[in-house]
């Protein structure tokens, strides 16, 4: 009769139980006479009183053979580098998955942050080329502050960029005055200094800055806050919005990476506990056969409660 054996050794606390499963393979065993089933696998399956020496370990040998893993070390490792705690608890596929997820999240965060930087450079250059603080201030003064003494213009030198020909404090004073009048009540924000992040945001956000765009052609008093903005204003607003979207996406991936660190740290701590309470090994063990002994695969599973 052709039979092969797989031995399963189960350790529960300090008690070890050996199980054997048989199926047709290539090991020759003599056919045994009919016998009463005793419930003892060593006798029922092999007619032996001893199957093999499944060693019983002392507590000291058990600690050496199955060293315990610290949940605190596992959690700390994964908090710093996702997957490190799983590597420590010998869960290698999980370690690779968590580490790959972390790397991917940071790569995507960097990618979208750089896209945001490039888009910011683009829309700021577009604004510098198509929006003029001189044009904006001239329209505001002629429409809402005519006859008032606001000395916001500091130079008429065309070689200077527009923002260098303006006294910003005086310009803001004029804007606050206009905002206090009924005709100019929609002049709520004052223009931040050139180059400020808010400078580039406001000129593409509030209608009061619409007359500063190069495709805006209004005589004094012709533009109303509720009128449609120019094509350049609208285009610029959309391009600035793209940059914000890229930065928001980058922030989302940073958040994902941080969550991955925290979740992985918690899971690594649990993994250490599972490692300490249940451990499996695959190996070979000698068992009796018709010709003496043969090696069969052995799965050893250890539980602790």
Render pLDDT for 212-233 as a digit per residue (tens, 0 to 9).
999 999 998 898 888 899 999 9
Does the pLDDT at position 30 exceed 70? no
CA 95 and chain centroid, separation: 16
Position 3 confidence tier, pLDDT thresholds 50, 70, 90: very low
**Phi, psi for residue 277 in degrees, rounded to 5:** -95, -25
Confidence check: pLDDT of 246 > 90: yes
3-state secondary structure 72-109: HHHHHHHHHCCCHHHHHCCCHHHHHHHHHHHHHHHHHH
Q: Work out the angle at residue 121's Cα, subtended by the Cα atoms of residues 119 and 126, and round it to the nearest 5 degrees.
A: 95
End-to-end CA distance of the chain: 41
Q: pLDDT value at position 302?
A: 55
What pLDDT is stored for residue 66 in this prediction?
58
| pLDDT for position 242 | 96
Say whether pLDDT at 279 is over 60: no
Instruction: Give the model's pLDDT for residue 254.
Output: 95
Cβ 42 vs Cβ 50: under 8 Å: yes
What dihedral do alpha carbons 162, 163, 164, 167 form, nearest 10°?
A: 120
> Average of pLDDT values for 252-267?
91
Q: Are 7 and 296 spatial neighbours (Cβ–Cβ below 8 Å)?
A: yes
Asked if 127 and 197 count as a contact pair (C-beta separation under 8 A), the reply is: no
Is residue 32's pLDDT more than 90?
A: no
Determine the pLDDT at residue 84: 85
Rounded Cα gap, residues 123 and 114, in angstroms? 14
Kindly list the domain boundaries of the chain, sorted by start residue. 2-66+276-303, 134-212
Query: What pLDDT score was predicted for residue 115?
Result: 97
Identify the band that residue 8 occupies on the pLDDT scale cut at 50, 70 and 90. Answer: very low
For residue 295, what is the enclosing H or E element? strand 292-303
Supply the pLDDT for residue 85. Answer: 83
Residue 291's pLDDT band (cuts 50, 70, 90) = low
Q: What is the pLDDT of residues 127-167, one digit of tens each?
A: 999 999 999 999 999 999 987 888 999 998 989 999 999 99
| pLDDT (average), residues 28-48 | 47
CA separation for the pair 174, 225 (Å, rounded): 18
């Amino acid at each position: 009769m052709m039979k092969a054996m797989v031995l399963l050794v189960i350790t529960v606390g300090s008690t070890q139980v050996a199980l054997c499963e048989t199926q047709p393979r290539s090991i020759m065993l003599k056919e045994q006479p009919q016998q009463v089933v005793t419930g003892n696998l060593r006798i029922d399956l092999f007619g032996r009183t001893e199957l093999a020496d499944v060693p019983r370990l002392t507590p000291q040998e058990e600690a050496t053979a199955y060293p315990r893993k610290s949940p605190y070390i596992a959690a700390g490792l994964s908090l710093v580098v996702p997957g490190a705690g799983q590597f420590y608890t010998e869960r290698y596929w999980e370690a690779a998955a968590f580490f790959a997820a972390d790397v991917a999240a940071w790569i995507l965060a960097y990618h979208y942050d750089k896209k945001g930087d490039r888009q910011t450079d683009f829309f700021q250059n577009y604004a510098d080329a198509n929006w003029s603080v001189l044009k904006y201030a001239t329209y505001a003064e002629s429409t809402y502050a005519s006859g008032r003494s606001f000395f916001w213009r500091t130079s008429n030198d065309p070689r200077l960029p527009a923002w260098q020909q303006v006294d910003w404090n005086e310009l803001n004073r004029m804007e606050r005055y206009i905002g206090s009048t009924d005709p100019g009540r929609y002049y709520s924000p004052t223009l931040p200094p050139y180059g400020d992040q808010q400078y580039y945001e406001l000129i593409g956000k509030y209608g009061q800055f619409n007359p500063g765009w190069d495709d805006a052609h209004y005589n004094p008093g012709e533009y109303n806050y509720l009128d449609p903005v120019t094509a350049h204003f609208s285009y610029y607003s959309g391009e600035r919005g793209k940059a914000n979207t890229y930065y928001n996406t980058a922030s989302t991936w940073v958040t994902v990476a941080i969550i991955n660190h925290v979740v992985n740290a918690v899971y690594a701590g649990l993994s250490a506990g599972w490692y300490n309470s249940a451990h499996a090994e695959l190996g070979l063990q000698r068992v009796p056969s018709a010709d003496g002994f043969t090696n069969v695969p052995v799965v050893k599973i250890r539980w602790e409660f």
